[in-house]
Structures are given as structure tokens and as C-alpha cells.
Amino acid sequence: TTATETSVFEVLESEVRSYCRGWPAVFDRAQGSRMYDEDGRAWLDFFAGAGALNYGHNNKVLKRALLDYLERDGVTHGLDMSTTAKRAFLETFRDLILEPRGLDHKVMFPGPTGANAVEAALKLARKVTGRETVVSFTNAFHGMSLGALAVTGNAFKRAGAGIPLVHSVPMPFDNYLDGRVPDFLWFERLLGDRGSGLNRPAAVIVETIQGEGGVNVARPEWLRGLADLCRRWDMLLIVDDVQMGCGRTGPFFSFEEAGIIPDIVTLSKSISGYGLPMALVLLRPELDVWEPGEHNGTFRGNNPAFVTATAALDTYWADSGTEKQTLARGERIEAALSEIVAEYGPLAAYRGRGLVWGLRLPDTGHASRACVRAFELGLLVETSGPESEVVKLLPPLTTTPDELDEGLLVLGRAVAETA
């Protein structure tokens, strides 16, 4: 980049965000699975707003719904007032998502972001149980606000808080101990040990697949074991589906495959479908204990987001087509990754489900170099994992088979050229 370009990036963002440095382009337009810079150069986007764009950029159906709503002067901001847009979303969500899955959870809007949803979930679990501790897992990521950070198992992210936070000993996530220690033995020992500091936790918060943590996939039986442990020890089970929900892993909720029913679920990222900030918390009806005003916020009622969210549910979740298509496209990715992995020794690995995949490249810096090279070759992908050792793929669910093949080809080349 030239000096002038560099100064543009400095004007744009401070050091706290890295995307503008890793991806030195000034983006201007985006459609479907592609983003374009101001000179019209195109990139395939397999990052998709870290999972916030499951239906692609400027999805045409959602855009139409939004434009129609704005054109008729629909309410854009309504705190938590009742609006037709909110009612339509709640009815559609109940009819297409909750009822067919046998869920009787109530829906609350905690504020615009994933971290807002996590904060509300933690706060609610503490109020309901009258207990303090919340158990989280190694390499978990739940957000950047203090409560969410307190259950985030990444030392670098936690260091951003400057001071030690509570809940600083996360439990091992599935397979962390390589099967050498029987599942949950350690956890249960600590629960029973009055000196451990766990003190009958209020809740356990878990991602079914750790997105930021390196695409670590929990086995369905592990999740069932966890749900069982929660029941036996009277802890609420919170599934953080902020990144893996809304169809990313195939079914609408990522926990469906395991057949578990969490007490509390957090959703955000792709729930609006259009990249508009929106989050929600699902809670079992008996957990609805807040008095009016005990949890409020200015942006709980993002009505344009309700409009696109409703259109997304109607378009993609009226039947099982989206789930089937996602699983089929995932098989395509899996086949391509298995070929790439074969070249890089026994420590290289791939894992994922649906349209979330991680490619672990064990040589230090290889995954980051591969992402930089992919950018030069026209593909947006990011790393994840505690050592940034995993290339994470999150293409929009609407990515066509041809686009998938194109992106996977670029990825293979980028990995090979940076080995």
C-alpha cells in the first residue's frame, strides 16, 4: 500500500480492529457472496460478517421487504414499544421456528448485539437461581463486555479488561483432554468439592461449536451429557447460538442435532438476516422473572431488523430446504478440505458441520499467511483459535456450488503458496 492509502486506514479505524489492516481495501458494494472495493475489484466473502450474513449481502428478498417498509414510513425506532413489525416477527418466529421444534420458550430482546444477549442470559440465570457462578469452557468466546468476557476462555481477550475477572477457570471443552479423562469427571469432582470455588453454579454457558475458539465441534453425546449434568446439579443450561444459530450448522438451532433443549438460548448475528444489529434471548417460560424495567435499553426495538428477520424466516425456514442445502454444501467443503489436509502432516486437521468449517494448519503463522494470500487472490477468510492456527470458513448459506468451488480452489492455492 502507498503512504496515502495507509493514512486512509489510520483515519478509518484505530489499532483495536484488525480487519482494516489484514484486508487493505476500502469496500463499497456487496451482493450475495461477493464484496467490491471502490475500484470495482471483487472478493468472494467466506467470512460473511463473522456469521452475520447467512443469507448473503443485500439479499434481494430481504432488501425488498426493508425498502417497502421504509417507503410506507414504518416505525424505525420504537424502544420496546409494540409495533406491527415486532408482532409480525414474534408470530413468524413462533410459527416457523419455535412451535415446529416443540419449544415453548419466551422471546426477549436484550439489545442489539450478541454480547447484549449473553449479558442478559447471565444476569437472568443469576436472578432466577439466586446463585453467582457461571461455568464456561476452554477457548469459549461470548463477547467483549465484562460479563460476557468473564465467561470467555481466551487469555488475550480477557487481558483487554486489564484486571482479573471472576470465573477465570473454564472447564475443558469436549475433547480438550483427548479422551484421556472420562468426560465430566473433572467437572463433577469440582462441583462436589466445596473448596473449588464453583459453589453450585447458577448456569453453564456453552457454544455447540466454538467459532472464535477454533471451530471446535462438541459431539452430540457430549452435549447430551452436559445437559444431563446440568439437570442433576440443578444448573441452567445456556446455549450461546450467536454464531452457530440461524442455520449455520444446518438446522436453525445448532443444538437440534444433539436433541437437547437449553433453558436459555442467545441468538444474534444472522437473526436479522441483513446485517442489521439484532439479538434475542429465548428463555423457558418459568424463567421470565424480570419486573418491567429490570432489563431495558434504547435499541431493543430495531424495527427494520424485525422486518428483514421476518422476511428471512418466511423465505428460508418455511420448510427444511435450507437445512438440507446447507448440509449438502458442507459435504462439498469437507471433501475439498480433506484433500488440502492430506498435504500438511498429521497435525493438520479440518472440522465443522453445515457451512462452518475450520482448517487447522499447525505451522505457526501458516493460517494467517494463507488468509493474507487468499485476500490477494480474491477471497475473504479469517483465522480463529487461540494461536490463530485455524482458517475459518463461514460462507453465506446462499453461496452457489460454483462459488463454493471457486473459493475452495483459491483457498487451496493460498494454503499451498504460504506453506
SS3 304: helix
Asked whether position 394 contacts ligand PMP by CB under 6 A, the answer is: no
Q: Bridge-partner residues for 217, per DSSP?
A: 209
Asked whether position 216 contacts ligand PMP by CB under 6 A, the answer is: no
Asked whether position 47 contacts ligand PMP by CB under 6 A, the answer is: no
Asked whether position 399 contacts ligand PMP by CB under 6 A, the answer is: no
Number of residues that bind ligand PMP (CB under 6 A): 15
Asked whether position 212 contacts ligand PMP by CB under 6 A, the answer is: yes
Asked whether position 50 contacts ligand PMP by CB under 6 A, the answer is: yes
Chosen residue from 141, 252, 350, 357 binding ligand PMP by CB under 6 A: 141
Closer residue to ligand PMP, CB minimum distance, 25 or 151: 151
Give CA–CA dist 317/302, Å, rounded: 21
Within 98-117, the residues that bind ligand PMP by CB under 6 A are 113-115
> Any residues with CB less than 8 A from the CB of 92 and at least 6 apart, and which?
310, 313, 314
Give CA–CA dist 2/273, Å, rounded: 36
Question: Which residue has the closest beta carbon to ligand PMP?
Answer: 114
Asked whether position 389 contacts ligand PMP by CB under 6 A, the answer is: no
- Cα 129–132–133 angle (5° rounding)? 110
Asked whether position 139 contacts ligand PMP by CB under 6 A, the answer is: no
Closer residue to ligand PMP, CB minimum distance, 147 or 250: 147
Question: Cα 395 from chain centroid?
Answer: 13
Asked whether position 143 contacts ligand PMP by CB under 6 A, the answer is: yes
- Cα 208–273–252 angle (5° rounding)? 35
Closer residue to ligand PMP, CB minimum distance, 268 or 310: 268
**Per-residue b or e along 375-400, where b marks 16 or more CB atoms closer than 10 Å to that residue's CB:** bebebbbbbbbbebbbbbbbbbbbbe
Among the listed residues 249, 339, 356, the one whose alpha carbon sits nearest the alpha carbon of residue 348: 339
Sheet of 203-206, strand order: 106-108, 280-283, 264-267, 236-240, 203-206, 134-135
Asked whether position 119 contacts ligand PMP by CB under 6 A, the answer is: no
Within 292-351, the residues that bind ligand PMP by CB under 6 A are none
Give CA–CA dist 356/367, Å, rounded: 16
Instruction: Provide the residue type at 111 as one letter.
Output: G
SS3 26: coil
Asked whether position 242 contacts ligand PMP by CB under 6 A, the answer is: yes
Asked whether position 382 contacts ligand PMP by CB under 6 A, the answer is: no
Instruction: Provide the residue type at 66 as one letter.
Output: L
Asked whether position 264 contacts ligand PMP by CB under 6 A, the answer is: no
Chosen residue from 48, 118, 206, 374 binding ligand PMP by CB under 6 A: 118
Asked whether position 207 contacts ligand PMP by CB under 6 A, the answer is: yes
Closer residue to ligand PMP, CB minimum distance, 205 or 410: 205
Least Cβ distance, residue 379 to ligand PMP (angstroms): 20
Give CA–CA dist 249/208, Å, rounded: 10
Among the listed residues 356, 348, 350, the one whose alpha carbon sits nearest the alpha carbon of residue 330: 356
Closer residue to ligand PMP, CB minimum distance, 191 or 237: 237
Q: How many residues does the chain have?
A: 419
Instruction: Provide, for the chain, the percentages of residues in helix, strand and coil under a 3-state DSSP scheme, each rounded to the nearest 5.
Output: 40, 15, 45
Asked whether position 240 contacts ligand PMP by CB under 6 A, the answer is: yes
Closer residue to ligand PMP, CB minimum distance, 56 or 114: 114
Given the rule CB under 6 A, which of 67-75, 154-162, 194-202, 204-212 is the region that contacts ligand PMP?
204-212
C-alpha cell at 173: 471443552
Least Cβ distance, residue 81 to ligand PMP (angstroms): 23
Closer residue to ligand PMP, CB minimum distance, 55 or 137: 137
Asked whether position 142 contacts ligand PMP by CB under 6 A, the answer is: yes
Q: Which residues bind ligand PMP (CB under 6 A)?
A: 50, 113-115, 118, 141-143, 207, 211-212, 240, 242-243, 268
